Amino acid sequence: MPWLELWFPEEIPFLPIGGLFLEPNPAKSFLSSIPSKTNSNSILRCSSYRKSGFLSVSLSVKGDNGFVRSSVGLIECNGEKSSSKDMEKLVETEKEEKQGKIKGKVRSRGAGAGAVNTTKHLWSGAAAAIVSRTFLAPLERLKLEYMVRGEQGHLFALIQKIATTQGVKGFWKGNFVNILRTAPFKAINFYTYDTYRKQLLKFSGNEETTNFERFLAGAAAGITATILCIPMDTIRTKMVAPGGEALGGVIGAFRHVIRTEGFFSLYKGLLPSLISMAPSGAVFYGVYDILKTSYLHSPEGRKRTCMMNQNKGEDVSALEQLELGPMRTLLYGAIAGACAEAATYPFEVVRRQLQLQSKANKMSSLATFLKIVENGGIPALYAGLIPSLLQVLPSASISYFVYEVMKIVLKVE
């Protein structure tokens, strides 16, 4: 058909490879480019297969105007011709189906990516606990000596005593069990805080998290992590208590506690733990987040944020990508840790004493509290606070520092 080649040369972009009659989705630009004029002398019908019929476009030749569109319609599979409204409905239906498939793929990808991101988030918190606890295990050991064994001597005398009787390894006694407890605890704590905070922000509809939401998210995170991880804390306390060496490690301590005191004895001190961890988590995460937000809103913070955005995509180290910078991250972490420890330390003392009680001499949290005050007065509730603060200050700063760095390294969203 030479006349058809004249009007539809190969260079025309809307004619795809395979011919006009084989194109399943003719471009809208092609259909709209043909003027719509009624002419009964239709000489050409181009058809393309659809799910429910054929898209019919009738063309006519009129003078120098070339091809003129006479009609556009949908021919059903039974041969009946549908109206233009039916064709529009079909087009909309096909669009919706395609969008549904795309959304389904996005959802499946989002679910997988979410699981990977959650895992990375948890590993960031676990790494923070492992590094900080191992680095500061000697200070943790000194704190427990004051709290659990009732040590009354001076700090330097206690250090000399441990070094003489147990050697350098004595300062890391119980550290493995401590890591088994704190790694999942910190992982859950950091992750749940960020999750609760984001959900509260989404629920409130605010542009930025309020201080109340920060404290509430921190308290909820502390409660969640405590409920899940307190059994390992009970085992660790038993191991470092007098006679703990004879229990035979973590597994032996587990068996001993369950056999002699029952499974639920692993949750001894849960109530004071929850009472202490709720305000501790609220203060720890709330104070850090408030300090961080205040800095980022300051002129210096805005300037740093602007510089980081300009350097985005360049090969920069994780330390340079920290929003607060290395030193400020360490400082704010230490301040938050000190505030949390000072506010909740008495609850920690009561909890440790409850964990050491046998089944026969079991007392309530209130009775234990009153007994401590009766025997040693109010200062007894703060026994070991100084070595505890010496341990908490670097521990909190290192924890937050490692956590922020690991989120950057692992690309946590």
Q: Token pair for residue 165?
A: 């009787």
Q: What percent of the chain has pLDDT over 90?
A: 23
E strand or H helix at 349: helix 326-356
How many structural domains are present in the chain? 2
Nearest CA-CA partner of 220 in 164, 301, 277: 277
pLDDT level of residue 14 (50, 70, 90 thresholds): very low
330 or 107, which is more confident? 330
Is residue 279 one of the residues assigned to a domain?
A: yes
Residue 12: give the domain boundaries.
2-82
Is the same domain home to 62 and 173?
no
* 189-197 average pLDDT score: 94
CB 257 within 8 A of CB 244: no
Spell out the long-range contacts of 345-349 with Cβ–Cβ below 8 A and sequence spacing 24 or more.
345/381, 345/382, 345/385, 345/388, 346/381, 346/382, 347/272, 347/273, 347/275, 347/276, 348/147, 348/276, 349/147, 349/380, 349/381, 349/382, 349/383, 349/384
CB 58 within 8 A of CB 41: no
Report CA 387 to chain centroid distance, whole Å.
32
Q: What is the pLDDT of residue 7?
A: 42
Is residue 88 one of the residues assigned to a domain?
A: no
Nearest CA-CA partner of 176 in 101, 111, 253, 90: 253
CB 288 within 8 A of CB 332: yes
Q: What is the pLDDT of residue 4?
A: 42
pLDDT level of residue 144 (50, 70, 90 thresholds): confident
Is the same domain home to 258 and 191?
yes
* 394-411 average pLDDT score: 91
Is residue 87 one of the residues assigned to a domain?
A: no
Distance between CA 381 and CA 210 in Å, rounded? 33
Residue 20 has a CB neighbour count (10 Å cut-off) of: 18
64, 82, 100: which is the final residue of a domain? 82
Worst-scoring range by mean pLDDT, 115-129, 141-155, 326-340? 141-155
Is residue 90 one of the residues assigned to a domain?
A: no
pLDDT level of residue 153 (50, 70, 90 thresholds): low
Is residue 104 one of the residues assigned to a domain?
A: no
Is residue 297 one of the residues assigned to a domain?
A: yes
Angle, alpha carbons 12-18-21 (nearest 5°): 85
pLDDT tens digits for range 50-67: 444 555 555 555 555 555
Average pLDDT score, the chain: 75
Is the same domain home to 273 and 393?
yes
Is residue 345 one of the residues assigned to a domain?
A: yes
Is the same domain home to 65 and 190?
no
Q: What is the pLDDT of residue 336?
A: 94
Distance between CA 218 and CA 209 in Å, rounded? 12
Question: For residue 226, is pLDDT > 80?
Answer: yes
* 133-155 average pLDDT score: 72
pLDDT level of residue 2 (50, 70, 90 thresholds): very low
Is the same domain home to 119 and 75?
no
Question: For residue 285, is pLDDT > 80?
Answer: yes
Question: For residue 45, is pLDDT > 70?
Answer: no
CATH number assigned to the domain comprising residue 123: 1.50.40.10
Is the same domain home to 10 and 72?
yes
Q: Token pair for residue 159?
A: 């250090």
pLDDT level of residue 193 (50, 70, 90 thresholds): very high
Is the same domain home to 12 and 117?
no
Is the same domain home to 195 and 321?
yes
Positive or negative CA dihedral for 133, 136, 139, 145? positive
Give the burial string for 108-142 (b: 16+ CB within 10 Å, else e): eeeeeeeeeeeebbbbbbbbbbbbbbeebbbbbbb
Is the same domain home to 76 and 181?
no
Q: What is the pLDDT of residue 1?
A: 46
Q: What is the pLDDT of residue 385?
A: 81
Q: What is the pLDDT of residue 51?
A: 44
pLDDT level of residue 287 (50, 70, 90 thresholds): very high
* 244-258 average pLDDT score: 78
Q: What is the pLDDT of residue 15?
A: 41
Residue 360 has a CB neighbour count (10 Å cut-off) of: 6
Q: What percent of the chain has pLDDT over 70?
A: 69
Nearest CA-CA partner of 371 in 350, 346, 344, 347: 350
Q: What is the pLDDT of residue 64?
A: 54
Across 22-26, 284-288, 389-393, which has the greatest mean pLDDT?
284-288
pLDDT tens digits for range 194-210: 999 999 999 988 888 89
pLDDT tens digits for range 97-128: 655 555 554 454 555 777 888 899 999 999 99
Locate all alpha helices (DSSP H) within 262-298, ordered by sequence.
270-297
Is the same domain home to 268 and 371?
yes
Q: Token pair for residue 241?
A: 């208590």
Is the same domain home to 175 and 258?
yes
358 or 69, which is more confident? 358
The model scores a pTM over 0.75: no
Is residue 49 one of the residues assigned to a domain?
A: yes
Across 8-17, 19-28, 150-159, which has the greatest mean pLDDT?
150-159
82, 100, 127: which is the final residue of a domain? 82
Q: What is the pLDDT of residue 52?
A: 47
Q: What is the pLDDT of residue 397?
A: 93
Is the same domain home to 77 and 162?
no
67, 82, 97: which is the final residue of a domain? 82
Main-chain dihedrals φ then ψ at residue 391, nearest 5 degrees = -85, -40
